Amino acid sequence: MDDRPIGVFDSGIGGLTVVAEIFRQLPGERVVYFGDMARAPYGTKSPETIRRFALEDCAFLLQHRVKAIVVACNTASSVALDAISEKYTLPLVGGKYINLSDHARYIHIREQLDLPLIGVIRPGAKTAVQRTRSGKVGVIGTVGTIRSGAYQRALAALDDHIEIHVQPCPLFVPLAEEGWEDKEATFLIAEEYLSPLKEAEVDVLVLGCTHYPLLKRTIGKVMGPGVGLTDSAEETAREIAHVLKDRGLLNPSHAEPEHEFFVSDLPAQFRKMGERFLGQRLERVSRISLDEEMG
Amino acid sequence: MDDRPIGVFDSGIGGLTVVAEIFRQLPGERVVYFGDMARAPYGTKSPETIRRFALEDCAFLLQHRVKAIVVACNTASSVALDAISEKYTLPLVGGKYINLSDHARYIHIREQLDLPLIGVIRPGAKTAVQRTRSGKVGVIGTVGTIRSGAYQRALAALDDHIEIHVQPCPLFVPLAEEGWEDKEATFLIAEEYLSPLKEAEVDVLVLGCTHYPLLKRTIGKVMGPGVGLTDSAEETAREIAHVLKDRGLLNPSHAEPEHEFFVSDLPAQFRKMGERFLGQRLERVSRISLDEEMG
């Protein structure tokens, strides 16, 4: 039983769709969220840059004594999980100190020992494999996520008979952020991106980006009623619940938990867009400067 | 007469439309370009964050002994010119040292004394004022540029009878980067953004973002033949030529200059998209890490 918070990070606001599911499935758990708005988006950037950002994001969360780290960003989950695991969450021999940044900020390893690290790729892939009947699965995501091959590997590892069709959809993130879910232009763009997946006759489509649930209606309309849409937020929250329970880390308290949200750019902008993603009001949003925190 | 390079920076690739015009109008001049791809875009971020990034970008250019700094980004020009001028280009008393970063990297002030600093706002505003007959001018740009009020102030300072109509167009940058200039969806999006400006009967429209020249055809089609489109790249290059000539800083050499391009993320991605913006092949692109350079 453990009242420490769950640490969640994303390049910006997309990860709030995962937080919404944590709130729903684990109402007793406290969340500390970090959204790296100043450097968003991650999906257009190189693996090397994304890894550097993700390690800094984790280092910030670790300062908040989190009991688990959730990488609520498909792009970062695609390319940075190993790097995070290697640097922060491997079960090293206790009592040692590890360097949390390149500028000599230390944390006692005993607390970090075997810290659970949960990404959004595997949970989504697992559901897709369970749900497909035809064995043909589509995956959409940012350029970074699709190019990394992370979904392709995760699906193949679960079932090597699955036929995988992928499609990067770079305009979906700005369309979701602009709030253009139901515009004709969005429908045309979705038709263009998704037509190869329709032609391939996939029967399950993984929404491989935490922004995409906001476009679910349009994507569903284009794909048709025969295609199931898999949203990784729900599956990821289920995985978090499972892991915490498994390790005895659930919080038994029934008090209303006080969540905290941190961003690397102005809270006002995060709050304004973020409430659509979270589906409720965003309280306690603070701005931090990663440079100052990390440097 | 001065063979030092002209320093140009942008959040990413948009500033290459300005570089293309420098190449055309000043073929003897050498350019050192920095594109901050790792933290792009700037247009969605807060003034404070943009200023911090812009100061770091300048500090990098100053290491290359540039003879002038061109802020080839409307968003950075809108909110960071004063901060840059205050930190780096004010004519201070010679022989002093100034701090180029917060981590003790110094440069001799004598070299920087009265370094010309050129943004993209004023040149575009000047042309708009010259070209309008009705006195009604439209301005489109990123959220950051429009919200800053920089064009509104620049236009009013030139002619306080001008009626100004502004419109942020956040989807234009990703559409230009995706190469969707001539798609039906782009036309629909342009129609939605631009209809208030059409209704206001502006006769000149300032393309207040260095990405927008790529969408000129679509924007022109929506606005109609009676509306002049003002592209700040051309005017900015003219201003650079004027300032350099005025201060005796032109390069008299007729040798083919060796330009250099630096980016904060993978050169391959910059090269691939950038060639459409520059209109020619991109040679000599190097990656730098601002953290390492600045820290």
Q: What is the pLDDT of residues A31-51, one digit of tens each?
A: 999 999 999 999 999 999 999
Which residues does chain A have within 8 Å of residue B295's beta carbon, measured at their own beta carbons?
A: 295
Residue A15: partners with Cβ closer than 8 Å, 6 or more residues away: A8, A9, A33, A35, A70, A72, A73, A210
The residues on A that touch B, with CB distances below 8 Å, are 37-40, 44-46, 48-49, 52, 170-171, 173-175, 177-178, 180, 183-186, 188-189, 192, 264-266, 269, 291, 295
Task: Tell me which of A75, A188, A294 to substitute to probe the interface with B (most B C-beta atoms closer than 10 Å).
Answer: A188
By DSSP bridging, strand A97-99 and strand A106-108 are antiparallel
- A102-111, B21-30, B77-86, B213-222: least confident range: A102-111
Answer whether B266 sits within 8 Å of A40, measured CB to CB: no
Which residues does chain A have within 8 Å of residue B288's beta carbon, measured at their own beta carbons?
A: none
The residues on B that touch A, with CB distances below 8 Å, are 37-40, 44-46, 48-49, 52, 170-171, 173-175, 177-178, 180, 183-186, 188-189, 192, 264-266, 269, 291, 295
Show pLDDT as tens, one digit a residue, over chain A (295 residues): 788 999 999 999 999 999 999 999 999 999 999 999 999 999 999 999 999 999 999 999 998 989 999 999 999 999 999 899 888 865 443 333 444 433 333 344 434 456 899 999 999 999 999 999 999 999 999 999 999 999 999 999 999 999 999 999 999 999 999 999 999 999 999 999 999 999 999 999 999 999 999 999 999 999 999 999 998 898 999 999 999 999 899 997 778 899 999 999 999 989 999 999 999 999 899 999 876 554 3
Task: Tell me which of A178, A222, A270, A285 to substitute to probe the interface with B (most B C-beta atoms closer than 10 Å).
Answer: A178
* Nearest beta carbon to residue B38 from set A49, A183, A185: A49
Nearest by Cα to A259 from A248, A251, A268, A249: A251
Q: Hey, which residues of B are catalytic here?
A: 73, 209
Tokens found for residue A52: 């550097």
Which residues does chain A have within 8 Å of residue B180's beta carbon, measured at their own beta carbons?
A: 171
Is the distance from CB of B270 to CB of B261 less than 8 angstroms? yes
Nearest by Cα to A185 from B143, B190, B214, B92: B190
Which residue of chain A is at minimal alpha-carbon distance from B266?
Answer: A46
* Nearest beta carbon to residue A188 from set B38, B188, B291: B188
Answer whether B171 sits within 8 Å of A180, measured CB to CB: yes
What integer best gives the mean pLDDT of chain B? 89
Q: How far apart, in Å, are the Cα atoms of A54 and each of A31, A73, A188, B78, B135?
A: 18, 10, 33, 30, 50
Which residues does chain B have within 8 Å of residue A171's beta carbon, measured at their own beta carbons?
A: 171, 174-175, 178, 180
User: Is A215 exposed, middle or buried (CB count within 10 Å of its CB: 0-12, 13-18, 19+)?
Assistant: buried
Nearest CA-CA distance, residue A246 and chain B, Å:
38
Nearest CA-CA distance, residue A225 and chain B, Å:
24
Task: Tell me which of B55, B270, B290, B291 to substitute to probe the interface with A (most A C-beta atoms closer than 10 Å).
Answer: B291
pLDDT for res B79 = 95
* Per-residue pLDDT tens digits for B143-176: 999 999 999 999 999 999 999 999 999 999 999 9
C-alpha to C-alpha distance for B198 and B201, rounded to whole angstroms: 5
Looking at the DSSP assignment, which residues form a beta bridge with residue B31?
A: B6
* Nearest beta carbon to residue B46 from set A173, A175, A269: A269
User: Is A104 exposed, middle or buried (CB count within 10 Å of its CB: 0-12, 13-18, 19+)?
Assistant: exposed
C-alpha to C-alpha distance for A13 and A34, rounded to whole angstroms: 9
DSSP A165: E
pLDDT for res A290 = 74
